[in-house]
Amino acid sequence: MLTTSTIETRKASFAGRDWLTTQDWTNAELETMLDVSADLKRKFKARIPHRYLPDQTIFLMFFDKSTRTRNSFEAGMTQLGGHAHFLTADVMQVSHGESPKDTGIILSSYGHGIAIRHDLIPGEGHAYMREVARWADVPVINMQCDVDHPCQTLADLMTIREKRGRNLRGLKVAVSWAYAPSYAKPLSVPQGLIMLLPRFGIDVVLAHPPEYGLMPDTFETARENAVGGHGSFRVAGSMEEAFHDADVVIPKSWGCLDTMGTNPAESLRIARQYTNWICDAERMKVARPDALYMHPLPADRGNEVTDEVIDGPNSVVYAEAENRLHTAKAIMALTMSEREIDYER
């Protein structure tokens, strides 16, 4: 634990930068994001004002539903002194075909940031937000696309560091597909995790049924990042194999790359043959006794995970969800503030 004499006050700014994928940011920049997130968490809990974005507006464009992302951005922006404007694509002219160029130019002339969730159709969301960002002259933030969910994976990394320390070299994290009947969930969380975590020395093992592979480019990036980050990445044949001796398990559902954008019902139909891909107490016994159970939520209780596990002593899902607030605020403050952010480390 840091003593008072080891705490330094630092300054940081990433003014004007887009937050579209963690891949666009160096490890040192991500470390700063995490340190500012931790400082904002401390200030929030101590009720120390931190109005870094007074009178600023961010536009939140949702092409999909949300609980954590919408509310962490809205509450977070209020706490930073500004206003978050909630928009759904179906009430915007984008639903009549208005271009990302026109949307980006116009919204950026009214405010100070644009955040977008567009995650359900492989090949569309990330390209859409890159095009908005090309034309907008304010930061554009990815609130989840088809490729990455960088707000979630930053919060996940923050949670792992809080529980296991800053040096994560050699930590084993299992990312596994799990069964869910509720909807064909985006692929971007597992893709974001396999790309990000090996950069911090983590050994990532992925498991999925044959039909639930991820975008090939993300495998390639995960392998390259593992080399540069002294971590590793491999694919296991089953949830048990991935969980073996794991320090952290992240089992969650996602849809079939081939069908989820065009025929999500088919993606769910195929999943019905894998209802035994559930994280239960027996499977948790394969991991280390103190293994963390994580899930970005929403979880399909009784399908992806049993109540015994998600409500049990290894589960950190509520700490993980809470960290969505602190990381969202760090992303907004650092990219949208014209002045440097002071933080303690």
User: Which residues of this chain interact with ligand CP, rule CB under 6 A?
Assistant: 66-69, 144, 152, 296-298
Closest separation between CB of residue 186 and ligand CP, Å?
9
Closest separation between CB of residue 183 and ligand CP, Å?
11
Kindly tell me which of 69 and 337 has the beta carbon lying closer to ligand CP: 69
Closest separation between CB of residue 160 and ligand CP, Å?
16
Kindly tell me which of 65 and 169 has the beta carbon lying closer to ligand CP: 65
Closest separation between CB of residue 114 and ligand CP, Å?
17
Closest separation between CB of residue 51 and ligand CP, Å?
25
| Rounded Cα–Cα distance for residues 205 and 1 (Å) | 30
Kindly tell me which of 155 and 239 has the beta carbon lying closer to ligand CP: 155
Kindly tell me which of 41 and 252 has the beta carbon lying closer to ligand CP: 252
Q: What is the CA radius of gyration of the chain?
A: 20
Going by C-alpha positions, the residue among 325, 292, 327, 23 that lies closest to residue 175 is 292
| Rounded Cα–Cα distance for residues 125 and 245 (Å) | 36
Burial class, 1, CB count within 10 angstroms (exposed 0-12 / middle 13-18 / buried 19+): exposed
Kindly tell me which of 121 and 297 has the beta carbon lying closer to ligand CP: 297
Work out whether strand 232-236 and strand 9-12 pair parallel, antiparallel, or are unpaired: unpaired
| Rounded Cα–Cα distance for residues 242 and 234 (Å) | 9
Residue 172 amino acid letter: K
Kindly tell me which of 155 and 226 has the beta carbon lying closer to ligand CP: 155
Closest separation between CB of residue 184 and ligand CP, Å?
14
Kindly tell me which of 132 and 145 has the beta carbon lying closer to ligand CP: 145
**Are the CB atoms for 40 and 325 separated by under 8 Å?**
no
The backbone region for 338, taken as left when phi is positive above 0, alpha when psi lies in -120 to 50, beta otherwise, is: alpha
Can you give the length of the chain in residues?
A: 345
Kindly tell me which of 66 and 88 has the beta carbon lying closer to ligand CP: 66
CB atoms within 10 A of CB 276: 8
Closest separation between CB of residue 21 and ligand CP, Å?
15
Task: Identify the residue whose tokens are 């940081």.
Answer: 12
Kindly tell me which of 37 and 108 has the beta carbon lying closer to ligand CP: 37
Hey, CA dihedral for 226, 232, 236, 242, is it positive or negative? negative
CB atoms within 10 A of CB 245: 11
Distance between terminal CA atoms of the chain?
11
Closest separation between CB of residue 206 and ligand CP, Å?
19
CB atoms within 10 A of CB 46: 7
Going by C-alpha positions, the residue among 139, 196, 200, 166 that lies closest to residue 331 is 139
CB atoms within 10 A of CB 55: 9
Going by C-alpha positions, the residue among 206, 192, 118, 120 that lies closest to residue 156 is 192
Closest separation between CB of residue 144 and ligand CP, Å?
6
